[in-house]
Amino acid sequence: MRGDAGFPVRLQYTKRGKIRWVSHRDVARAMERAFRIAQLPLAFTSGFSPRPKVSFGLALSTGHESDAEYLDLEFAREIDCGDLPVALTTALPDGIDVVAAVPLEPRAPALQEAVTAVSWAVDVRAAEGGAIARDDLARYVDDAMAVGEWPTTRRRKGREVTEDVRPVVRRLDVRPGDDAAMFMELSTQPRSAKPGEILAALARAADAPDELVEARALRTHQWIERDGTRWEPQDADTRRPAPEARAS
């Protein structure tokens, strides 16, 4: 979705609570329904079956929560973005809240291409449901980070492949407190990994006695990085207001 005309806008929304069990595809359907309810002047593709010009960012796995989901859409004419969050949130299922809407520069890079890293807050437990002590988790992280490779088996295009996910990991910090929880920053390009895949590989690399799994995973940020600077998507490629003409 990058038209030469129209008025492109980027939405930020959250996905929390029971709605985390709704798939990415169903969230897309709920969004399109909300656009219709709010009677937004969307731009449409041409052809036999016109569709709204909507482009989603990185898909969020079913079961994960997020404070940092994004989509780009194009309007047929300029609108007031300040009214969009309330209008759309009212028309969306509980747990999905539109929290920001900003106009984009024409031909801004698509989110799928632009986002290079994501941040996660992850609560960790043992695979069999047992608790993990925070000090044990911190030791596993230290031991794993000293290992050069974290091979893990994943399904790619219908077949199982073994890949090293260590290059995906930019940062792993065990969060302060009594619970076993961590902060992850993971690359999305040239390939990415889910928090659960990182935990499983970390446990093997650290030779932990228990497999580690996520009790809860919350995506907290997405990042767009260019020329040594990084922005959150709602701050990147934003259309600046035209300067007001000076009175003569």
pLDDT at 109 over 60: yes
Predicted pLDDT at 247: 43
Coil/strand/helix, residue 215: strand
Give the H/E segment covering residue 247.
none
Q: Which residue has the tokens 């939405």?
A: 11
Predicted pLDDT at 47: 81
Q: Which residue has the tokens 């407190």?
A: 177
pLDDT digits (tens, 9 = 90+) for 18-39: 999 999 999 999 999 999 999 9
C-alpha 98/C-alpha 13 separation (Å) is: 4
Domains and CATH numbers, the chain: 7-108 (3.30.70.580), 114-226 (3.30.2350.10)
Report field, pTM of the whole predicted structure over 0.85:
yes
Find the distance separating the first CA and the last CA of the chain, reported in whole Å. Answer: 41
Least confident of 21-25, 88-92, 147-151: 147-151
pLDDT digits (tens, 9 = 90+) for 69-82: 999 999 999 999 99
Nearest to 83 by CA among 169, 175, 11, 155: 11
Nearest to 56 by CA among 6, 91, 16, 96: 96
Rounded to the nearest 5°, which phi and psi values hold at 217?
Answer: -135, 125
pLDDT at 244 over 60: no
Predicted pLDDT at 157: 77
- 27 burial type by CB count under 10 A (0-12 exposed, 13-18 middle, 19+ buried): buried
For residue 201, what pLDDT band results from cuts at 50, 70 and 90?
very high
Centre a 10 Å sphere on the Cβ of residue 20 and count the other Cβ atoms it contains. Answer: 18
Is the C-alpha dihedral spanning 74, 80, 82, 88 positive or negative? negative
129: left (phi over 0), alpha (psi -120 to 50) or beta: left
Q: What is the mean pLDDT of the chain?
A: 91
